């Protein structure tokens, strides 16, 4: 029986392992950490967003990486939903189109998946850190795992404590686009008056950057601004676009001006209260807008947020960069390493927030596993 080796036990690696096992290979999955899919489990703590229910053309376009299209055509959002349901995890679609398991956790899904992999004969070896080739460092010393075909699925370069530290890139530096943070928060050097609001949600705002608008929410943290609203614009902000907030997106500028006029000679704090701005919005106005040349109404509708750039990459939900597609065949085999394939966040693509990350990890894992099985 031909032997398949998968290095990395996240969603991409486990999907590749399942595909190879179903094709009749004897499959071993080697994982550096003491347990599998740690980042997957962490994602599930805030609600596991497995995919997005939207027209397929829009879904594919969101990645801005044409190389992913055939893989997503083979295993796209509807397939991800079916996959979860086959593992006895019912799903629901939120108002934004994001799809979640009803359990809102990753652990039931993962347990069912691991049971299915075990039934297929897939062997899991933890505490096996890749050294290159088929060599691994383990608590018992260096070992070799023989294989006829290998799939690399070692992740990007965020959340190192969960397993994705990007160290593998040192083994093939000429093939890798530099890592950058993706879906990350932005650092803000707050003044002292913002301290009471650390941890406060900022709701019902419109965020703008580089001509792109997004209605969403974020959180004022001690370190800056984070949350889905910021993540949605993080790519364009990372590339240098300034961030602006509309604190009253449902009220037109002339109506804001009219309401302020009715406030008469009240103090500015009281006038802002009259507008029914919540405390965190009022605090942000005084943090960034009090000394602007524009009117109060204009500032409320277009508040500049002075930030100090992205938070460190290890805090990012995911990363851009990785193995360049030019270094890979259409089947995701490394051109310089026959019978060695790659999948998941190792590849040079960037997922927007909203279910895209897990879907593409599963899709590339299935694609790499399929082609690896064919070449074995």
**SS3 assignment for 191-207:** CHHHHHHCCEEEEEEEE
Q: Mapped to the 3 state alphabet, what secondary structure does 206-259 carry?
A: EEEECCEEEEEEEEEECCEEECHHHHCCHHHHHCCCCEEEECCCCCCHHHHHHH
Architecture in CATH of 3-181+317-375: 3-Layer(bba) Sandwich (3.50)
pLDDT for residue 291? 81
**């460092």: which residue's tokens?**
137
Tens-binned pLDDT, residue by residue, of the chain (376 aa): 999 999 999 999 999 999 999 999 999 999 999 999 999 999 877 789 999 999 999 999 999 999 999 999 999 999 999 999 999 999 999 988 999 999 988 999 999 999 999 999 999 999 999 999 999 999 999 999 999 999 999 999 998 999 999 999 999 999 999 999 999 999 999 999 999 999 999 999 999 999 999 999 999 999 999 999 999 999 999 999 999 999 999 999 999 999 998 877 788 888 888 898 999 999 999 999 988 889 999 999 999 999 999 999 999 999 999 999 999 999 999 999 999 999 999 999 999 988 999 999 999 999 999 999 999 8
pTM for the model stands at 0.93
Which pLDDT value is given to residue 9?
Answer: 98
Per-residue model confidence (pLDDT) at position 292: 83
**Do β-strands 340-342 and 149-152 pair in parallel, antiparallel, or remain unpaired?**
parallel
Question: Distance between the two ends of the chain, CA-based, in angstroms?
Answer: 10
Phi first, then psi: what are they for 164, rounded to 5°?
Answer: -95, 90
What is the pLDDT, as a whole number, of residue 44?
A: 73
Q: Which two tokens stand for residue 148?
A: 């006829």
Residue range(s) occupied by CATH 3.50.50.60 in the chain:
3-181+317-375
CA dist., res. 75 & res. 153, Å (int): 17
pLDDT at 250: 96
How many residues are listed for the chain in this entry? 376
Q: Which pLDDT belongs to residue 46?
A: 75
220 forms beta bridges with 200, 225
> In 3D, which of 360, 356, 364, 367 has the Cα closest to residue 98?
356
Q: Residue 373: phi, psi to the nearest 5? A: -65, -40
pLDDT attached to residue 80: 98
Identify each DSSP E strand in the chain by its residue range: 3-7, 26-30, 51-52, 91-93, 98-101, 123-125, 129-132, 135-138, 141-144, 149-152, 176-182, 186-187, 200-209, 212-221, 224-226, 243-246, 303-305, 318-323, 340-342
Instruction: Return the pLDDT at 271.
Output: 86
Which has the closest alpha carbon to 128: 20, 5, 34? 34
Closest CA to 162 of 248, 64, 327, 40: 40
CB 287 within 8 A of CB 190: yes
Query: Rounded distance, CA 274 to CA 268, Å?
Result: 10
């Amino acid at each position: 029986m031909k032997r398949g080796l998968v290095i990395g036990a996240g969603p991409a690696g486990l999907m590749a392992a399942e595909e190879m096992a179903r094709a009749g290979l004897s499959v071993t999955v080697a994982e550096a950490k003491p347990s599998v899919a740690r980042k997957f489990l962490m994602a599930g703590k805030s609600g596991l967003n497995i995919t997005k229910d939207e027209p397929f053309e829009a879904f594919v376009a969101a990645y801005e990486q044409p190389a992913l299209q055939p893989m997503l055509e083979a295993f796209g959002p509807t397939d991800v939903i079916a996959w979860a349901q086959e593992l006895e995890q019912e799903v629901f679609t939120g108002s934004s189109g994001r799809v979640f398991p009803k359990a809102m956790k990753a652990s039931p899904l993962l347990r069912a998946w691991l049971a299915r992999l075990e039934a297929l004969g897939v062997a899991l070896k933890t505490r096996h850190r890749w050294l290159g080739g088929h060599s691994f460092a383990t608590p018992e010393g260096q070992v070799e795992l023989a294989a006829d075909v290998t799939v690399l699925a070692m992740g990007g370069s965020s959340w190192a404590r969960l397993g994705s530290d990007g160290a593998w890139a040192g083994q093939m530096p000429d093939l890798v686009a530099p890592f950058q943070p993706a879906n990350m928060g932005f650092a803000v050097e707050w003044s002292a008056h913002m301290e009471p609001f650390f941890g406060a949600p900022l709701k019902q705002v419109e965020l703008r950057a580089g001509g792109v608008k997004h209605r969403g929410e974020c959180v004022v943290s001690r370190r800056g601004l984070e949350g889905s609203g910021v993540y949605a614009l993080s790519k364009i902000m990372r590339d240098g676009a300034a961030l602006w907030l509309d604190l009253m997106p449902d009220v037109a500028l002339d109506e804001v001006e009219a309401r302020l006029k009715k406030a008469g000679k009240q103090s500015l704090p009281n006038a802002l209260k009259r507008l029914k701005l919540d405390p965190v919005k009022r605090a942000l106005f005084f943090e960034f807008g009090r000394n602007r040349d524009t009117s109060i109404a204009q500032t409320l509708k277009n508040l500049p947020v002075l930030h100090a750039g992205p938070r460190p990459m290890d805090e990012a939900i995911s990363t851009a960069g990785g193995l360049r597609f030019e270094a890979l065949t259409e089947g995701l085999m490394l051109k310089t390493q026959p019978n060695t394939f790659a999948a998941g966040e190792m590849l040079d693509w960037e997922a927007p927030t909203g279910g895209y990350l897990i879907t593409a990890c599963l899709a590339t894992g299935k694609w790499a596993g399929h082609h690896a099985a064919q070449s074995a």
